Structure 1
Amino acid sequence: MIERYQTNEMRQIFSDVRRMQIWTDVELAVVEGFVHNGDAPAADLDVIRANLPLIDQGFVDDVLARERVTNHDLAAFVDTLQSRIAVKESSWIHFGLTSSDVVDTAFSIQIREALEVIVRELRKTILATIALAERHKNTPEIGRTHGMHAEPTTFGGKVVLWAYQLDRDLGRAEKALAQASVGKLSGAVGTYSNVDPAVEHFALSRLGLRPVPATQVVARDIHAEVMYSLASISTSLESFATEIRHLQRSEVGEVFEPFAQGQKGSSAMPHKRNPIVAERIVGLARILRGFLSAALEDVALWHERDISHSSVERVIFPDAFHLCHYGLLKFRWLVENLEVKVEKMRENLDASLGLYFSQSVLLALVEAGLSRDEAYRIVQRDARAAYESKRSFIEILKEDPSVRVDLEEVLDESRLLRNVPKIFEGLGELKARLRDA
């Protein structure tokens, strides 16, 4: 991932130092398992612990140098770790294991740590979105379908739906986190030929994982589910960012991204104020969805394993977590600092000339005894006349002898919005659940 879109948390989790530290933790947990199972002397474990090297950039550099000889990263790591421990007891390191035992188990820990970051930030983002929705619960805004004015809604009523969607994304991320918190230490083809299942169970419990039946590798449908959860989050953010972009258009002008002192919207046109962060969120979501396709391709491996998935995962998973986390941080910043132009929303609502009452009039005419088609034609005719003449729809209705209903009762904006509070009913429980997590 290019530095521009990296986040500090993900950079640390997916660093070479962190990866090799986790590899070391896995190897040590297995030796502890052997001791616990009575397969290795406790004294040997004490010697190994006493001589464990510091896993730092110098250690990583030594592994990379060794890899140029072995052409195998995990074998180079084991060679370097054993040479650094430098005692005969180090022979217990990697005893009975295959490379994927260590690599896949460590990868699960990295995924768990990264998903925990995503889940924490997602909760903050949902709470920020709820706060924006509640501030504008009763701020009238014209609703739009097919890009055209429809009926009134409220800006808060729009935004609260974002919170509910992000909460569904949170559920998917939490499910993926639970699903991916697995490891395997069952040997070359997963048959426990040289490692007792009790050793695996003990070691994985030490690492906060649970055993899963496997071939030589953990099945990649698990990883594809993780990638789907990230793509789903990013796609939700894209959806909301697209709405912000539309509402910031010059002809609409209802919301605006923050614009800092000294910021420039265009190198050529000083008047420009562009929704660049929302556009960036949209663009990065396209990349992340592409990673999902690659993750699904990784599910089908040859027999008990091949390494066609390995090169793909080295790229897509760190990058996907960076992009998802970056997108969440930027979207929360947008929500917390969004400029909402309440007066412009009212102006755009009034620009509809009252046409958003068309369904109300239609239903009133039907209740008065007209057939639905007859009522529809009358309202459609008057609406078209209002639009083309730029006159008030209400005035034209009052002049039409076919419209024999109590317009004062029908043409009541508050009646159209009276049930908006229903949309907010689930927020109390949602906020409590997020804050207690």
Structure 2
Amino acid sequence: MIPRYSPKDMAAIWTDEAKFQRWLDIEIAAVEARVEAGFVPSEALEVIKEKARFDVEEILEIEKETKHDVIAFLTNVNRNVGPQSRYIHEGLTSSDVGDTCLAMQMRDAGRILLEDVESLIGVLAERAVEFKYTLEMGRTHGIHAEPLTFGLKLLLWHQEMKRNLDRMKRAVENISVGKISGAVGTYQHLSPEIEAAVCRKLGLTPSPISTQVLQRDRHAEFLTTLAIIGSSIEKFSVELRHLQRTEVRETEEFFSKGQKGSSAMPHKRNPITFERLTGLARIVRSNSIAGMENVALWHERDISHSSVERVVMPDSTIALCYMLRTFRDTLKDLLVYPDRMQQNFDTSYGLTLSQTLLLALTGKGLTREEAYRLVQRNAMESWQNKIQLKDMVLRDTEILEHVSAEEIERLFSSENILDKLKKSVDTIFERNGL
């Protein structure tokens, strides 16, 4: 991922330095396990721990000749260790190191993402409570539907991120496995006990079965989980982009002093952060497809997955980390305009209370079909002539035969709308633990 979108703590997991350090940790853990099992003298381990070093630039230079990164790494380390290096990588295959390392990187990246998801959940909860009773028009198909509150919208996102937290926990758990099982996973030169000891030292669980590699359904699940979380961030961002449109303007990204919105139009205040997050979601989501393409490898292993993972794993985890933190920080400072929400609410002439009127009529004994006919007749004329639905209904003698003018006034009053909403809102918030 380019530096522009790379949080330092997440990017640090994916550097060559960090990768080679994990490789060295795995190799030393394997020697330690074999010392404990009585296969390697403890003196050799002491020498290896003291002298085992690597140089990234030298490894990359050696790889130009070997065309094999693990061999290049071992060549560099062994030069520093000397004769005792014969115990390094003994019985292992390259994927024992590479796949176990990748699992460690994904686990560590996943832990950072879990913290970021939890942080966003906290901000969503705070702002949902803040706007718990802030009246807003609900929209379906982009058209005014029925009243809700802005707090409910934020609570909906809060619950979605809680589900994403559960997904992320499962994905991290399922990728936190290692394999030290040899060329086709049959322990020809090591034992399952050695594998278990190495994995324990690294904080991993041994894969119950493997080939030369860990199976890529684990990696696909991880990437797909990132894609789902990224899609959630996109969903929230798209909604807030719509709400910032000039003709809506119910919310707005904070616009800092000195910020510019356009090189040509000085008046512009654009939702650029939410647009940026929408774009990054496309990358994270498309990378999940590449992860699923990696599931079907030849026989016990081919290397077609490797080049893909070198790109998509760093890019997806780094991008999502950036997205979570950026959305959280932007949401903290989000400008919310309740007065504008009320103005927009009033632009539909009370038509969004059509169902309330419909139910009032059926409650008086009319059939649903007859009530629907009466309400729709007034609603269409109200919309066409830009007249408040309440005023139309108060002039409709056929409706007044069933519902009194006083009842109509009460049905259309803001107090009635809010009173009914508050009961539902309280129940929904309580049901969701807020």
TM-score (norm 2): 0.96
2:157 maps to: 162
Q: Who is 2:385 aligned against?
A: 389
Structure 2 CA distance for partners of 1:373 and 1:415, relative to 1, 3 Å: farther
Q: Which residue of 2 aligns with 1:434?
A: none
Cα root mean square deviation, aligned: 1.1
Aligned residue for 1:377?
A: 373
Contact 2:52 2:78 in 1 (8 A): no
- CA displacement at 1:409 relative to structure 2: 4.1
2:32 is matched by which residue type in structure 1?
A: E
Q: Which ranges in structure 1 are unaligned for 5 or more consecutive residues?
A: 430-437
2:66 is the alignment partner of 1:79: no
Asked if 1:15 corresponds to 2:2, the answer is no
Percentage of identical aligned residues: 45
Query: CA offset at residue 416 of structure 1?
Result: 3.7
Compute the displacement of 1:50 (Å).
1.7
| 2:200 pairs with one of 205, 210, 223 | 205
CA distance in 1, matches of 2:212, 2:306: 13
Q: State the AA in 2 paired with 1:73.
A: D
Q: What is the total number of aligned residue pairs between the two structures? A: 424
Distance 1:85 1:377 in 2: 89
Match of 1:141 in 2: 136
Aligned to 2:327: 331
Aligned to 1:2: 2
Determine if contact 2:100/2:178 at 8 Å carries over to the other structure.
yes
- SS where residue 157 of structure 1 aligns? helix
Distance 1:245 1:416 in 2: 29
Deviations 1:81-121 (A, max 9, x none): 111112x2111110000000000000000001100110001
Question: Residue 417 of structure 2 aligns to which amino acid in structure 1?
Answer: E
Q: Secondary structure, in 3 states, of the residue corresponding to 2:136? A: strand
> What's 1:425 paired with?
430
Residue 308 of structure 2 aligns with an amino acid whose one-letter code is V
Matched residue type, 2:15 = S
1:385, distance to aligned residue in structure 2 (A): 1.4
Q: CA deviation at 1:343?
A: 0.7
1:189 aligns with 2:192: no
Q: How many Å apart are 1:271 and its aligned residue? A: 0.8
Map 1:296-335 → 2, pairs under 5 A: 296-335=292-331
CA distance in 1, matches of 2:88, 2:430: 57
Task: Name the residue aligned to 1:35.
Answer: 35
Residue 277 of structure 2 aligns to a residue in which SS?
Answer: helix
Give the drift of 1:415: 4.1
Q: Which residue of 2 aligns with 1:105?
A: 100
Match of 1:218 in 2: 214
**Structure 1 stretches of at least 4 aligned residues deviating more than 2 Å after TM superposition:** 408-412, 426-429
Aligned to 1:410: 411
Structure 2 unaligned regions, length at least 5: none
Query: 1:223-273, CA deviations, whole angstroms, 9 ceiling, x for partnerless residues?
Result: 000001110110000000000000000000100001111111111111111
Residue in 2 that maps onto 1:124: 119
Mapped partners of 2:173, 2:11: distance in 1: 23
- In structure 1, give the amino acid aligned to 2:198: A
- Matched residue of 2:270: which SS? coil
Q: Which moved more, 1:384-393 or 1:308-317?
A: 384-393
Distance, in Å, in 1 between the alignment partners of 2:358 and 2:275 is 40
Q: In structure 2, what is the Cα distance between the partners aligned to 1:383 and 1:75? A: 76
- The alpha carbon displacement at 1:401 in A equals 1.4
Quote how far apart the aligned CAs of 1:351 are: 1.6
Are residues 1:361 and 2:387 paired?
no
Which whole-Å CA distance do the structure 2 matches of 1:226 and 1:83 have between them?
Answer: 37
Alpha-carbon separation, structure 1, partners of 2:294 and 2:222: 13
In 1, distance between residues paired with 2:431 and 2:41?
57
Counterpart contact for 2:390–2:409, Cα < 8 Å: no
Distance 1:381 1:9 in 2: 62
- Counterpart CA distance in 1 for 2:431 and 2:36 is 49
- DSSP-derived class of the 2:108 partner: helix
Separation (CA, whole Å) in 1 of partners of 2:385 and 2:294: 61
Contact 1:130 1:160 in 2 (8 A): yes
SS at match of 1:144: strand
Which residue in 1 is equivalent to 2:50? 50
Q: What does the per-residue CA deviation read over 1:364-386, in whole Å, with 9 as the maximum and x for residues that have no partner? A: 11111111111111111111111
1:140 CA drift (Å): 0.3
Alignment of 1:251-262 (within 5 A): 251-262=247-258
Q: Secondary structure at the match of 1:425?
A: helix
- Distance in 1, Cα, partners of 2:427 & 2:160: 17
Is 2:133–2:149's contact at 8 Å kept on the other side of the alignment? yes
Name the amino acid aligned to 2:123. Answer: A
- Distance in 2 (CA, whole Å) between partners of 1:82 and 1:154 is 65
- How far 1:392 moved relative to its partner? 1.2
Structure 1: distance between partners of 2:190 and 2:345: 70
- Give, in whole Å, the separation in 2 of the partners of 1:415 and 1:129: 24
The alpha carbon displacement at 1:428 in A equals: 3.7
Paired with 2:284 and 2:125, the residues of 1 have a C-alpha distance of 26
User: Could you tell me how far apart the structure 2 residues matched to 1:278 and 1:422 are?
Assistant: 31
Match of residue 282 from structure 1: 278
8 Å CA contact 1:152, 1:416 repeated in 2: no
